[in-house]
Amino acid sequence: MEYKSKTSTSLEWKKDFIQSNNVSGPRYTSYPTAIQFHEEFGINDYEQAITRSNQKKRPLSLYFHIPFCNTICYYCACNKIVTADKKRVRHYLDQLIREIEIQGTLFEKNRPVVQLHWGGGTPTFFSHSEMTELMYHTGRNFNLLDGEQGEYSIEIDPRDADLDTLSLIHGLGFNRISLGVQDFDEKVQKAVNRVQPLPMVEKVVKASRNLGFQSINMDLIYGLPYQTPQSYRSTIESVLALQPDRISLFNYAHLPHRFKTQRQIKDETLPSAEEKLEILCDSANTLMSAGYVYIGMDHFAKQTDSLAIAQQQGQLQRNFQGYSTAREADLIGMGVSAISHIDNTYSQNFKTANQYEQALTQDHLPIEKGYTLNTDDLLRQEVINQLTCHNQIDIPRIEKSHQIDFPTYFDTELRELASLEKESLVRLSPTKISLTELGRLVVRRICLVFDIYNSGAQAQQSTYSRII
C-alpha cells in the first residue's frame, strides 16, 4: 500500500488555534512512552524477547550513545557528560565494548545490521583510535554490511569536524552524517553557548560531499532565545543554499525544572507561542516550496531521500532516533540511557554512567527498566505510527491486522475525533482518518486521543513539552 505525501504550501498560523491546541504531549518516538517503563522488567524479560526475535530473523538496528561533550549547549536535554578527563572516557569505552560483546552473544550472527547510529553527546569526542576501536568491536560481534548497503549515520558537531575526522568516519563505514546547526544567527548562537558561523558549516558540508557521504541531515531548532520569524527566514535560506538531504526542524522544549543547563536561558528572551508557530509555518512553507517533502513531526526530506521513499511505500516508522526506514528491524540501544526495542518489549539502560559501568564491570547487562507491550499496546502503537508517519489511519488495514471492529473498539476516540474534525484538524470517513494540513502541525495532539496512558488534552502537563 502506498501513502502519498502532500507538499502543499498553505500552512497558516492563527492565535485561536494556538490557544486551543498548545497542550503538552509526547513526541511519540515510542508507544507506550518511556514514562511507562518500570523496574520489574529485567534481564530475563529482555533475553526472552531476544529469543523470540531470533526466531523471527529480523534485521537489526544498532544505536550507540556516546554522552561526552567539550562544552554545554544551554538548550540541550540529552544525557550528556561535559569533561576533559580522558581516563573517564577510556573507562566508558571499555564498558561500552563489554556491552557489545555481551549483546553479541545473544543475537544470531547472521542477522544483518541494516542501520547503525552513533549519537550523543558528541560521538566525535572520542579520539580517532577510540572510534576505530569501537567500530572494530562492533564488526566482530555483529553482521555489519559492506559499502552503501546499510544506513550508517553519525552525529557531528561542526566545531570539531575537520577533514581528517570526516575522512576517518567515512573510512569506518559511515555513509550519512547529521550536523547540529540549530540557527545561524550569531545572537542566538551566543545565547545558547554554541557559536558556529555559517562558513564553518559550509566547509564541513563541502568536505562531506567530496568524500562521498550518501546523505547529510541538518538539525534545526525553533523557539530558541532571540529568534524571530524574520531572523529565522535568513537561517532557512542559508540552509537551503547548502542543500541537505534531510532537515529536522525541532521545537525547543523549555523545561528548566527538569534540565539544569536550560536555566541559563531566560524566559523573557524566548519567542512567544504565536511567533514559534509563525516560524514553523514559514519554514515549512519555504522548505516545501523548495521541493522538500514534509515527512511529518518536524522532519523534511528531499523527494529522492530514503525517508520520503519509505513513506510513499508505507514502510516508515518512528523510533528513538526519530523517523526510520528500517520498519522490520529490532533496535539494540547500547551505552548509558540507551533504549532498545526488541520484539514486543522496550528496555532502557541505566541513566548514569556510574550505574551503567558498574553493571558491566560485573558482566551484567546494564538494563534499569523496560516494558512488555500487551495486545492493546500493539494496536495503539500501530495507529499512532500511521498518524505520525503517514498522516492517516487505514481503518481496514488496522481491522485486518488486529482482528477488531474499529468503530466499536475506538468508540470513545472517534467521538473525540469528531470534535477535532469540527476544528479542521482531521477528516473522518468509514475507511480512513486523515490529518488536514493544519492537523499535521499538531499531530501529537491528535495522537493523544489514542494514547490510553496520556489521554485527554491536559494529561501529563508537567512531564512533556508543549506541542507549539
- Amino acid (1-letter code) at residue 357: E
Percentage, residues of the chain above pLDDT 90: 77
User: pTM of the entire structure?
Assistant: 0.92
pLDDT value at residue 13: 54
- Using the structure block, give the residue that is written with the C-alpha cell 540549530: 182
- Amino acid (1-letter code) at residue 442: V
pLDDT at 14 over 80: no
- Fold classification of 1-30+374-455 is Arc Repressor Mutant, subunit A (1.10.10)
Q: What is residue 272's DSSP assignment?
A: P
pLDDT at 265 over 60: yes
- Using the structure block, give the residue that is written with the C-alpha cell 470513545: 412
Contact yes or no for 437/6 (Cβ under 8 A): yes
pLDDT value at residue 110: 94
Instruction: Indicate the domain borders of the chain.
Output: 1-30+374-455, 35-334
Q: What is the pLDDT of residues 208-245, one digit of tens each?
A: 999 999 999 999 999 999 999 999 999 999 999 999 99
Segment 81-88 long-range contacts (CB within 8 Å, at least 24 positions apart):
81/121, 81/353, 88/353
Grid coordinates in use for 24? 503538552
Confidence at 457, pLDDT banded by 50, 70, 90 = very low
Confidence at 8, pLDDT banded by 50, 70, 90 = very low
| Cis check: omega of the bond before 42, within 30 degrees of 0 | no
CATH of 35-334, one of 1.10.3720.10, 3.80.30.20, 3.40.50.410, 3.40.50.2300: 3.80.30.20
